Amino acid sequence: MIKSYKDLDVYNLSYSLAMEIFILSKEFPKEETYSLTSQLIISSRSISSNIAEGWAKRVYEKKFKLHLVDALGSVAEVQNWIQFAKDCNYIDENKLNSLTQKIYQVGRMLTKLHQNWKTQSIQRQTSNL
């Protein structure tokens, strides 16, 4: 039973990914603080933030789905910034592959949630709370 956005697996995975990226980015050079590091942190946090914000608007199916699309945009942005981190030699190939797998998993989960979301059926499940 879904009672909160925190019950969504995609939210939890995206939050975990953002925290992993935050910790990893602490090792980036200081000259990247206001460029690559900040962009990567902002875009990674945007995924779970859009899920949470969309959840608050879930009774309006189109608005919720729009936030899921925005989260998917952030997924693509994170993948781009992670590739920059690899190409700048801030992370190695193994870390790139590990993060890429998680990023793709979040993207797949968001896509499925977007495709399968039906506001009325979820409202019935959560109305008994």
In 3-state terms the chain splits into helix, strand, coil percentages (rounded to 5) of 80, 0, 20
Report how far residue 48's alpha carbon sits from residue 27's, in angstroms, rounded to the nearest whole number.
Answer: 23
List pLDDT tens digits, range 112-127: 999 998 865 555 445 4
> For residue 99, is pLDDT > 90?
yes
Q: What is the pLDDT of residues 23-37, one digit of tens each?
A: 999 999 999 999 999
Superfamily of domain 5-120: 23S rRNA-intervening sequence (1.20.1440.60)
Domain boundaries, the chain: 5-120
- Span 94-123, mean pLDDT? 89
Instruction: Give the pTM.
Output: 0.90
